[in-house]
Amino acid sequence: MNLLYPQSTRRNWAIFSLLVVLSVMIITLYFREGSNGILHGVQRYTVNIVVPLQSGVSKAVSPFKSAFRFVTSIGSMRTKNQRLEKENSRLRKEIASLHLTDSENKRLRELVGLKRKLDLSTAPAQVIGKSSTDWQAVIVLDKGRNEGVKKNMPVIVDSGLVGQVIDSSPKACRVQLITDQKSGVGVQIISTSETGVLQGQIDEKLKISFIDKNSKVKKGDEVVTSGLGGIFPKGLYVGKVRRISSRPYSLFKEIEVESFVEFAKLEEVLIITNPFPRNPYETKER
């Protein structure tokens, strides 16, 4: 018995050698015979059988491949969608921020233009609070005594008169709007030079009192501050006459004024800080 080469190993080598010899013989015969030879015919026959089978298998497997690709792509699609949603959210925030910035810049430009037109000392301020009841029309500004803001100082915007400071703390002040029921502003109708008192109403309308019933005032006439009373300087724009009526036995006309100030949307204002001479007939506060 040969211990170096067991019987199974010798048998494997014999089979391998035989297969090599057969392969060489088949390759040699394949290249020596013509295209009409037996081996070429077997090749063509095999191809004709295998190709349709491969095509059928490919068609049958194709939907499963597509489904597999779809399933495997869901994760990446979800990640991509999340990334796009975050990008859209970021872009929406940027657009909203740009709109706010543009709106704020527009308002500030209007205030700067107004400040240049007025021969008055003014201080810009931002609205940081508003009245919480229906019985008063008051806003809170971020300027106070530390910035020289005092009681009775007028407050304006480019579109007209806003109101007056009614009290101030070191860092803030409260402003009574002209639409407040307790507000009273001396005004003048430009076309007739007549003066009266502008008062707020519970419905936030503005009415002028003490205009003679024989007045020639017309709808659309412009109204400005008269300068009477020692608080509001003369000539600050208030609005236009909207409606005129009169009662049979009344000595005065009832005149409603339209203000172009958007009181509910106020954000930036100007405080007029010029000192006005005190009315010598005004009662001193105790």
Give the separation between CA 96 and CA 201, rounded to whole angstroms. Answer: 36
pLDDT band at 82 (very low <50, low <70, confident <90, very high): confident
Looking at the domain assignment, is residue 152 inside a domain?
A: yes
Is 96 in the same domain as 154?
no
89-113 per-position pLDDT tens digit: 666 655 655 555 555 555 556 555 6
* Cβ 137 vs Cβ 200: under 8 Å: yes
Band (pLDDT 50/70/90 cuts) for residue 26 is low
- CA-CA distances (angstroms) from residue 51 to 35, 46, 47, 68, 243? 20, 9, 6, 25, 94
Q: Is the per-residue pLDDT at 85 higher than 60?
A: yes
Residue 277 within a domain: no
Distance CA 189, CA 205 (A): 17
Instruction: Kindly state the tokens that stand for 17.
Output: 């050698």
1 inside domain: no
Domain tally, the chain: 2
Q: Which pLDDT value is given to residue 121?
A: 85
Residues 6 or more apart whose CB falls under 8 angstroms from that of 229 comprise 184, 185, 186, 279
Asked if residue 247 and residue 221 are part of one domain, the reply reads yes
CA distance 43 to 26: 12
What is the distance between the alpha carbons of residues 82 and 89, in angstroms, rounded to a whole number?
A: 10
Same domain, yes or no: 98 and 240: no
Please tell me whether residues 186 and 210 are part of one structural domain.
Answer: yes
130 and 108 housed in the same domain: no
The residue range of the domain holding 40 is 8-117
Q: Which helix (H) or strand (E) segment is 257 a member of? A: strand 252-258
Residue 167 lies in a domain: yes
User: Is residue 153 a contact partner of residue 164, using CB atoms and an 8 Å limit?
Assistant: yes
Residue 38, pLDDT above cutoff 50 = yes
Instruction: State the Cα–Cα distance between residues 10 and 13, nearest whole angstrom.
Output: 5
Domain final residue, candidates 117, 139, 166:
117
Verify that 40 and 127 share a domain, yes or no.
no
**Average model confidence (pLDDT) for the chain?**
78
Over residues 187-209, the pLDDT tens digits come to 999 999 999 999 998 888 999 99
Instruction: Give me the pLDDT at residue 131, please.
Output: 78
Question: Which of these three, 86, 102, 117, is where a domain ends?
Answer: 117
Quick check: helix, strand or coil at residue 234? coil
- Predicted pLDDT of residue 286: 34
How many angstroms separate the CA atoms of 41 and 158, rounded? Answer: 99
- pLDDT tens readout for residues 245-265: 988 888 999 999 999 999 999
End residue of a domain, out of 117, 141, 172: 117
Query: Given this model, what pLDDT does residue 1 score?
Result: 47
Structural domain contains residue 140: yes
Q: Is 105 a domain residue?
A: yes
Residues 45 and 156 in one domain: no
CB 249 within 8 A of CB 241: no
pLDDT score, position 202 = 84
Please state, as a whole number, how many other Cβ atoms lie within 10 Å of the Cβ of residue 205.
Answer: 15
Mean pLDDT along residues 144-152: 93
Is residue 231 within 8 A of residue 275, CB to CB? The reply is no
Q: Are 111 and 157 in contact (CB under 8 A)?
A: yes
For residue 114, is pLDDT > 70?
Answer: no
